[in-house]
Amino acid sequence: MFISEKHRKIATQHKHLNTSHAKIIGSVLVRRHTPVPPWGAIVKLVELAKESIRLLKESGYEGIRSDILADMLETPKRRVYDVIAILNALDLVATKRRFDGTTVTWIDRTKDYIPRADYEDMKSRLETEYNQRRDLQVQVAELKEQVRMARSKLRRELRTVETLTKAEFNTTFLTVRALSSNGFKKVKDSGMEVLIETHEPGMTVDPTVKTPDENEEIIKNLQRF
């Protein structure tokens, strides 16, 4: 850092200041003579950049030639080139050189985002669906447990018959259940006789006539899982 002889004398006159303080004073005095851009020019450049961005956005995908942009802004081309260089460095515009000049196009990034309100609405719906699915999973687990307990109770209450020559039931309704979760392997109906075969040993025959159960279809569907 250069400190003039005049400034050094001013600093050394204050004997209570150490060497570093003298250097700081000299540096401040030197800076006072350093030319800086006027504030009005800085403000004007900011306004020029704002107006350039507005015109580029309005031009859409077609873009604007840099010389035409300068004419629209009524500004020297070199100042417009400075603005374009900054916008290009920030990846806000795309430039393409052609035989008739350089075309500047605004890069629209709004398509990469969704509005905040839409995001919150989508998030709320996803949370609602997730909670509903979790509740259904709990209900399915409870129904499966009920089916398991019903089967276990049925096995305990029924008397197992290893062999039986023939049994007659004075009823028009007969329910045959497979004790295994694999269900029936084959059911064949000839009109006069029904042949039933299971994957695993174990069947129950119930001649009791029952009233329709609303949960019967749900239980049947759960048994398939």
pLDDT tens digits for 104-145? 998 887 777 777 888 888 888 999 999 999 999 999 999 988
H helical segments located in 158-212: none
Average pLDDT taken over every residue of the chain: 74
Residue 204: predicted pLDDT: 80
Do residues 180 and 198 make contact, with C-beta atoms less than 8 angstroms apart? yes
Residues 6+ apart with CB under 8 A from 122: 114
| Summary count for the chain: helices (H), strands (E) | 7, 7
pLDDT at 6 over 60: no
Please give the helix or strand (H or E) that residue 28 lies within, else none: helix 19-32
Residues 6+ apart with CB under 8 A from 154: 177, 179, 204
User: Where residue 10 falls among pLDDT bands split at 50, 70, 90?
Assistant: very low
What is the dihedral sign for C-alpha 22, 26, 27, 29?
positive
pLDDT at 88 over 60: yes
Do residues 101 and 67 make contact, with C-beta atoms less than 8 angstroms apart? yes
Please say whether the structural domain 39-110 has been given the CATH code 1.10.10.10: yes
Rounded Cα distance between 133 and 76, Å, is 64
User: Where residue 15 falls among pLDDT bands split at 50, 70, 90?
Assistant: very low
Rounded Cα distance between 150 and 177, Å, is 13
Rounded Cα distance between 106 and 213, Å, is 67
Q: How many CA atoms, within 13 angstroms, populate the side-chain half-sphere of residue 30?
A: 14
Residue range 173-199: average pLDDT? Answer: 85
Reported as a single tens digit per residue, the pLDDT across 135-171 is: 999 999 999 888 888 877 766 665 555 556 677 878 8
Q: Give the residue extent of every domain in the chain.
A: 1-35, 39-110, 160-213
Rounded to 5°, the CA angle 155-158-181 comes to 35
